[in-house]
Structure 1
Amino acid sequence: MSGVAFDDILQQAEQLNTGLDGGAELPRVQRNIQQLLDAGQRLRSKTSTAQDSAQPQINAALLLSSKGQDVPKISDRLKTLTSASETFEPLDVVGDTDIEEGFLRNERENAILAVVEEQKQRTFLDVEKRHWQTRLSEWDTEKQQLLNKLIGADGSLNFSREVSEHMSTSVYKTSGNVSVNPRSTMDQWELNYARQVHIYNDRILDGGIHLNLADLCQAAAEKMKDVNVTALWKMVKCVTDVQASIGSSLISRRTSKPMLHNLVNQALTYLEKAYLDYMQTCVYARPHIAQLGGAPGTINLVKSFLRVQPANTVQGYEDGDVDGAPLWAVIFYCMRSGDLDAAVEVVKHNENIIPEFSVWMQEYVREGKKLSSSSENKMKIQYKRSVRTSPDPYKTAVYCIVGRCDINDVHGEVAQKAEDYLWLKLSQVCYVVVDESSAHPDVLTLSRFQKLLVEDYGESHFNAMSNPLLYFQILFLTCQFEKAIEFLSRFENLRSHATHVALALHSHELLLTADSLHAKMITTEAADESPLTVVERLNLSRLVMLYTRKFEITDPREALNYFHFLRNIQTDGQSLFIHCTSELVRETGEFEMLLGRLNADGSRKPGAVDKYCAGDTKLLIAKVASDTEAKGLNEDAVYLYDLCGKHDQTLALLNRLLSPVISSSDNSHPDRARLKSMALAIAERYRNQSVETSRNVRSTFHLLLDLLVFFDLYHANRVEQALDVVNELQMLPSTMEQVQSKVSMFKTYTDEIRQSISDILLATMTLLTKRCKLQQNLNKSVTTKSGDSVCTNARRYARSLITFAGMLPYHLPGDATARLVQLEVQMT
């Protein structure tokens, strides 16, 4: 202020004062210097504390306003983060501004919320997926259990696919004739099969020559006079009539080239024999048209067959005829009926017409239905040049069979039935390893043909639901035994046939079975893959158990015959036969009939299972006893342990059963009288037969029997006799000097005795109280010194019992000690 003159300041103040009076709209405020000073101080105090924090906001507001941004709207956007934290929705996009803090914070929080939302959705999806996987797994298990228990028990429940109503053959109907036994739930088919299985097993168990189960089942089908099932068993018998190699595993045999070649040849043989029978039936049915004459043989039969059923599909006969019959049709039907020699004879007779084919045909027969590479290539070239366009479908079919030409041609004019198509394609099959994805598209391997039938055509193409036996035949003849059996087993009325086909194959060591009892009915394992054939495994154990579930309760002997087939299959380290038999015994409760019973002299009368066990019946009974005990059927387990000679387990389990009931009375506990009777009978028999048992188990058992007597006397209110018994047992101290020794002795007792000690103490104390009361009542009428001594001894006895209870290394029930003290007080 020293640099400014006072006159200048005064002049400036007057100018300001003049400006205020210059017509402004604001009213003039008259304030003195002190008032101005106070107002300034108040304004300063209000703004000084918030100046630092408010200055950036003021600057931001000014800058945003200069850019055309609405400050309140931006503030609202920033506040939405609080609500977004609950819903995890992304924040609104911030405009393109230069506010580094707000913009970057918004982007960062948007990124965080996006990650959280993504993880939340992923977690929800994972939880839902796991939930449904668990529920589906539980439901599959429940369905299997329900199926095993309920399917087909009386024919009213049917969980399999329905067969068309128009099919009238008896194989699709459950026979109305049931077993002579009114309790049996087996129909006539099942009974006939069961008889054959019984004969088969008896021969095996007697050590004789094994019978052919397929022959036995075919005989059963012939007895039932069912054409379809008889044909089925003829097919099974023909295909399985192969020589198995020795010394190799089943999977290696089934996937080997020689075995597959033999199986396919057997399938062709069956199809050829069946067609020969069909030709003969057609010819003999119309002899006036067939005009069968001359030398008997296939050639004359074929010519007669062509008269009955002319080859009217031939648009033109090439290369002449044979006595009026088309040449190539005669050759084809000679081959179709399986007589290659007759086909060669026809070819040789017309060698001047078809010289090249005559050479190839003779080589084909001579080399076992195959040509050399050079001959096959020449034949394929000739086929592509001229034969493929021939109007004679029989000529093209014969060329395709002999030279394996054009594997994609179905030859619908000559192969009008599925059996004809199968025969033609199986005749073209080559047993070479071919890369499915690349070369050799003109080579038909067995695996390619199998996949074509199942994956490309499938069940719908062959109308499998209406004609299941046909589709079964198609799968079976193409060496897909396991899939064929699994398909047939889906139909309840056909399950008996499927099961016995599986057993027949299993007896011939041709069936691939699953290793696990809990596997699906049909499974595929990566280790079994083969380039020559499709390999699958059948759960034979599940199939047999599902089949026997229907009648095992009413016909357990028949069920045992089927379980015998499972004797070489292991589950949980034991034979599946033992596992199934154990379950059968538990379900039926037929202990004596199945396992036998004990005679009075301790010997065991054999049961139905003895003939299957080869002297190891006791091991089986021990397994059944163990499983029965695990199921909580302890009384049955006692009987079974006793039956198989496991005497220690018998007494140990009986001890556990007796311990909870010894303190009760026979009237109050319904199981006590029955268990007591069982225990006394076993004790007497073991004593008479001098049965050796463990000392600890035996001593516990006899002590429990004595305690049973003690509590019987206690509940009968026979005071003196009960006290005499408990004193003879020497379990409890009668004087203070005996307390320590009895406590030490208590430590040697088993849990079955220890858990009853509180009841024994209370019963003994109650008896002492009653004795004292009786003596006191007697003393009121007659005063004697002996009466006082009785009460004194009772009180001393009671005091030692309370001391003993307090020193026991065992936790007594909460009210036991209090009750003991109350009873002691009552003696005073």
Structure 2
Amino acid sequence: MDLNTLLQRAQNLTNEAKAEYEMPQVERTLQQVLQATTDLHSRVTQSSNKDIQAHILLGSKGIDLPKLTQKLEALNARKTFEPVDVVGADTDVCTFLKNERENAILSVIEDTNKNISETVSKQKWVNLNSTWNEEKSRLLDALIGPSQNFIDLQRLPEHITLDPNVPISRCLSPMELIYAQELRHYNELLLKGAHRPNLVQKFAVLTSSFGDDRLTDMWSTVAAVTQVNEPLHSDPIKARQQRPEFVINANSCLERHYKIYMCTLVGAAHSSNCYQLVRAYVTNRFSTQQTIGLVDTLEDKPLWPMVYYSLRCGAAEAAVEFLHEAGPSYEDFAQVIADRSAGAVNSRTETQLKLQYANKIKNSTDAYKKAVYCLILGCDPNELHGEVAKTIDDYLWIKLAMLRPGDAAGYGRLQSEILEKYGEKHFHASNQTDVYFKALVLVGLFEASIELLARNGQSVHAVHMAIALHELGVLGGARSVSQPLLSIDIADPQPLRRLNLTRLVRLYAQRFERMDTTEALNYYFTLRCLRDPKGRNMFLTCVCDLVVGSGALDTSIFDLIFGQRMTDADEEVPGGVFRQFDCPEFDTNTTASLIAEELVARGSFEMAVRLYELAGNYNLALKHFNILLAQVVQLSPQEGSQRARLRDEANRFSRLLAALRMDVEPKIRGSFALLQLLLVFFDLHHEGKLVQALEQLQRTKLMPNTTDDVEGCLTTIKKLSGEVIKVIPDVMVAAMDITLTQYNQLKPSDTCSSNQLQLQLEKLRVRAKALSNLAASMPFRMPYETNKRLMQLELMMH
């Protein structure tokens, strides 16, 4: 049976039912019912389950959700603080003024909220930037490599129990202490204006007593290469490749070392006669088989090895003598060597010899002859001369000897080869630090050599080498003290680096700055010529960080550096160790003021007060002390708290002022005296001594007893400084609280008659009313909580 037949029968049944029974007529056919069901199903499935559940829940409670939704959409809620609509022209004046007043209030509220939001956002970002800068500085201080970003993670603090009977040991090892004493002696000579000694030479002599041959060799190499007549005042990096002294000194150093080596092989008897020394060395070194390929001889000995080793040990006159003995055919070459040694140049003869080298000698089997021609004439600068140069010292000597004065490009290429082409891996620097260090120093890469030592566990020597070279004026310092230990400046000649001396010294001295403070100050004094990004002197900045880091409770470091504080006694108090650095650039009083300003900027007012007092600036000392005292004067007294410390300081200042040991402006002195009275008032208030507290408060003349006293108190308050004004709200609350306490104590009293009781109660109510009137008449905005508290306390008396 198909669907059409089924539909027809259903319609017939419907007609029969209509005819036989009086039933309501069906308004929809089956097709219409099917279509309506499909539409309803599609709407239900498209809506979310939450909407369906909401319809069912609200429908069960008799709520028509669609109709409710239409009502809610019809509502037009006005936003909070939306300006009132402008009234029409026919509105009366009162309504217009009311709307204007409401609009003005709303605009003030909106502007205030906007300003507060902007201020909070600005302070948040300033605080965040400051925090990140401190964290960045801490991380950069831990970087000890040029690019590896190695961070020295500090261990977590551990609880250590110290035996008070055990004497405090020094943080410096015996070697470090010897270094520190030598540096202190150098600073003393410098501050006295005496002749400045060569600190590199001083340290080089000092290290010979350590018993370490490698260390002695490294220091002697640094001392030999950096021999300059006087400290350099120009940028060392810019001038290094232009100055021939470093090349000449490096060559001389290598020649002296090789001469010592030759003497150890053939005996010290020939050390005074280079001619005999070279002959004996060549005889010892070359056997009959080893002379194969050597083209020229002198008395059965190879000629060119004798010439080469004469030059290698710095005996050019011996080389000339050997060539003269060899015959007249070598006279031209001997003359060129003599001219070179004397600093003269014979261009014609050298040109002829260069042609001779290109035509014959370049392909000769005598490696020593080729090496000598290249050394003297500068031929084939890229030739390695591997048959002659067996060690790194030989290689460097040949390369340096081939450089001509002022050849900055050739000097730079040699530096790039040692630092970048070969590098630490080629020299096995992790196991042979001294070898690579000497190679870097000999080619004038002082900064990279010092960084190598600092990175390989020899920071104590690296620090003192850096300080000595800095005092000599040959160390390339970083552009900014916030840069990594070793940095590259794109404006510098390649491949020179810059060393951050500030970071190196501070990392070294921070280990013992609290235990050996005097020695640490001597190290920080070496940074006196450097500035931080804000233009502050790094010596003063380091001292400031040391004082701030010690904390306000620990005054031992402060007393050690700046001396003990002044007392009300007549005797003089000796100064601290900082006075040994007194000079035209660093006067103790001026330095104390500068450090105090930095401490104020950091928010460390307690130490700043001490330094201002030390500098004799008593106005600023007492002014900042008033700021500190105003923040804690209303707190309850507790032993060991900041308020207790400031209370003792206030008593000390009072004694000094009474003894006329301090000259302070009257306004600052008046503020201090008023804060001290309030300090005693709050002490009595917290102790429950209400009568004495009120007597103390009446001495200040700040709070009224009657409404007639309000104007007088307002006049007094308007003359106060900002520090005292900040305390006024707390004083008013305390005065109202005392009034309420006395009111509650009198109210149930039976000791006086009813009239007397009412008079006293009324007197207290009048005082409370006067305090409320004073709060309402203040020339500045009172805190909301203060006004609320005053109203609550006053209402409790009615």
Taking structure 2 as the reference length, the TM-score comes to: 0.74
- Structure 1 residue 517, shift from structure 2 partner: 0.8
191, 196, 202: which is aligned to 1:210? 196
Letter in 2 for 1:419: D
Bigger Rg, which one: 1
CA 805–672 in structure 1, closer or farther in 2 if over 3 Å, else same: same
Question: How many Å separate the matches in 2 of 1:687 and 1:149?
Answer: 51
Question: How many Å separate the matches in 2 of 1:579 and 1:823?
Answer: 51
Letter in 2 for 1:145: R
- Look up the match of 1:44: none
Flag structure 2 segments of 5+ consecutive residues without an equivalent. Answer: 1-130, 154-165
529, 541, 546: which is aligned to 1:584? 546
Question: How many Å separate the matches in 2 of 1:464 and 1:668?
Answer: 59
1:334 aligns with 2:310: yes
Question: How many Å separate the matches in 2 of 1:237 and 1:523?
Answer: 24
Question: How many Å separate the matches in 2 of 1:781 and 1:526?
Answer: 92
- Look up the match of 1:754: 725
SS of structure 2 residue aligned to 1:605 = coil
1:562 aligns with 2:523: yes
Letter in 2 for 1:598: R
Letter in 2 for 1:548: A
Bigger CA drift: 557-566 or 425-434? 425-434
Question: How many Å separate the matches in 1 of 2:340 and 2:407?
Answer: 22
- Structure 1 residue 251, shift from structure 2 partner: 5.5
SS of structure 2 residue aligned to 1:354 = helix
CA 506–749 in structure 1, closer or farther in 2 if over 3 Å, else same: same
SS of structure 2 residue aligned to 1:566 = coil
Q: 1:157-215 CA deviation, whole Å, 9 max, x = no partner? A: 9959xxxxxxxxxxxxxxxxxxx985333334322221221221122122222222122
Letter in 2 for 1:610: R
503, 509, 526: which is aligned to 2:473? 509
Bigger CA drift: 397-406 or 504-513? 504-513
Question: How many Å separate the matches in 2 of 1:586 and 1:307?
Answer: 70
Q: What aligned pairs does 1:456-535 form with structure 2 within 5 A after superposition? A: 456-492=421-457, 494-529=458-493, 535=496
244, 255, 270: which is aligned to 1:272? 255
Question: How many Å separate the matches in 1 of 2:205 and 2:272?
Answer: 30
CA contact (8 A) 2:560 2:577 kept: yes
388, 392, 404: which is aligned to 1:430? 404
Question: How many Å separate the matches in 2 of 1:671 and 1:362?
Answer: 81
- Look up the match of 1:542: 503
Bigger CA drift: 601-610 or 138-147? 138-147
- Look up the match of 1:384: 358
CA 400–823 in structure 1, closer or farther in 2 if over 3 Å, else same: closer
Question: How many Å separate the matches in 1 of 2:439 and 2:253?
Answer: 12
CA 332–652 in structure 1, closer or farther in 2 if over 3 Å, else same: same
- Look up the match of 1:683: 654
Bigger CA drift: 758-767 or 577-586? 758-767
CA 427–815 in structure 1, closer or farther in 2 if over 3 Å, else same: closer
Flag structure 1 segments of 5+ consecutive residues without an equivalent. Answer: 1-137, 161-179, 286-291, 437-444
Letter in 2 for 1:148: D
SS of structure 2 residue aligned to 1:223 = helix
CA contact (8 A) 1:661 1:669 kept: no
Q: 1:237-283 CA deviation, whole Å, 9 max, x = no partner? A: 22222235988665664353xxx222211111111111111111122
Bigger CA drift: 704-713 or 661-670? 661-670
- Look up the match of 1:317: 294
Question: How many Å separate the matches in 1 of 2:793 and 2:380?
Answer: 105
CA 586–669 in structure 1, closer or farther in 2 if over 3 Å, else same: closer
- Structure 1 residue 331, shift from structure 2 partner: 1.2
- Look up the match of 1:625: 596
- Structure 1 residue 489, shift from structure 2 partner: 2.3
- Look up the match of 2:770: 800
Letter in 1 for 2:301: A
- Structure 1 residue 775, shift from structure 2 partner: 4.9
SS of structure 2 residue aligned to 1:517 = coil
1:231 aligns with 2:217: yes
CA contact (8 A) 2:705 2:766 kept: yes
296, 300, 319: which is aligned to 2:276? 300
- Look up the match of 2:612: 641
222, 232, 240: which is aligned to 2:226? 240
- Structure 1 residue 644, shift from structure 2 partner: 2.5
Cα RMSD of the aligned pairs, angstroms, is: 3.3
Question: How many Å separate the matches in 2 of 1:144 and 1:621?
Answer: 25
CA contact (8 A) 1:548 1:559 kept: yes
CA 692–457 in structure 1, closer or farther in 2 if over 3 Å, else same: same
Letter in 2 for 1:477: L
CA contact (8 A) 2:231 2:472 kept: no
- Look up the match of 1:595: 562
Q: 1:116-155 CA deviation, whole Å, 9 max, x = no partner? A: xxxxxxxxxxxxxxxxxxxxxx999857614737989xxx
Question: How many Å separate the matches in 1 of 2:772 and 2:743?
Answer: 17
- Look up the match of 2:623: 652
SS of structure 1 residue aligned to 2:525 = helix
Question: How many Å separate the matches in 1 of 2:607 and 2:188?
Answer: 30
CA contact (8 A) 2:140 2:484 kept: no
Question: How many Å separate the matches in 1 of 2:691 and 2:265?
Answer: 102
- The alignment covers a number of residue pairs equal to 643
Question: How many Å separate the matches in 2 of 1:713 and 1:245?
Answer: 67
Taking structure 1 as the reference length, the TM-score comes to: 0.71
CA contact (8 A) 1:528 1:535 kept: yes
CA contact (8 A) 2:336 2:346 kept: no
CA 758–549 in structure 1, closer or farther in 2 if over 3 Å, else same: closer
Question: How many Å separate the matches in 2 of 1:188 and 1:358?
Answer: 54
Q: 1:570-596 CA deviation, whole Å, 9 max, x = no partner? A: 222232111112112333451111121
1:407 aligns with 2:375: no
- Structure 1 residue 542, shift from structure 2 partner: 1.8
CA contact (8 A) 1:594 1:608 kept: yes
- Look up the match of 2:417: 452
Q: 1:684-726 CA deviation, whole Å, 9 max, x = no partner? A: 2122125222333222211111112222222333333222222
Question: How many Å separate the matches in 2 of 1:489 and 1:814?
Answer: 60
CA contact (8 A) 1:148 1:549 kept: no
Bigger CA drift: 307-316 or 641-650? 307-316
SS of structure 2 residue aligned to 1:570 = coil
- Structure 1 residue 411, shift from structure 2 partner: 1.3
Q: 1:623-662 CA deviation, whole Å, 9 max, x = no partner? A: 3333334444333333333233232232222222222332
Q: 1:497-543 CA deviation, whole Å, 9 max, x = no partner? A: 222222222222222222311123333444444xxx75443222222
Question: How many Å separate the matches in 2 of 1:158 and 1:690?
Answer: 51
CA contact (8 A) 1:659 1:753 kept: yes
Question: How many Å separate the matches in 1 of 2:489 and 2:412?
Answer: 16
Letter in 2 for 1:378: Q
Q: 1:92-133 CA deviation, whole Å, 9 max, x = no partner? A: xxxxxxxxxxxxxxxxxxxxxxxxxxxxxxxxxxxxxxxxxx
Q: 1:721-777 CA deviation, whole Å, 9 max, x = no partner? A: 222222222112222222233234323333333333233223223333444455555
CA contact (8 A) 1:387 1:396 kept: yes
CA contact (8 A) 1:351 1:358 kept: no
Q: 1:383-406 CA deviation, whole Å, 9 max, x = no partner? A: 122222222221111111111112
1:344 aligns with 2:290: no
Question: How many Å separate the matches in 2 of 1:224 and 1:464?
Answer: 23
693, 717, 726: which is aligned to 2:697? 726
573, 579, 587: which is aligned to 1:610? 579
Question: How many Å separate the matches in 2 of 1:151 and 1:356?
Answer: 54
CA contact (8 A) 1:475 1:481 kept: yes
Q: What aligned pairs does 1:83-122 form with structure 2 within 5 A after superposition? A: none
Question: How many Å separate the matches in 1 of 2:737 and 2:709?
Answer: 20
- Look up the match of 2:737: 766
Letter in 1 for 2:686: H
Question: How many Å separate the matches in 1 of 2:133 and 2:425?
Answer: 26
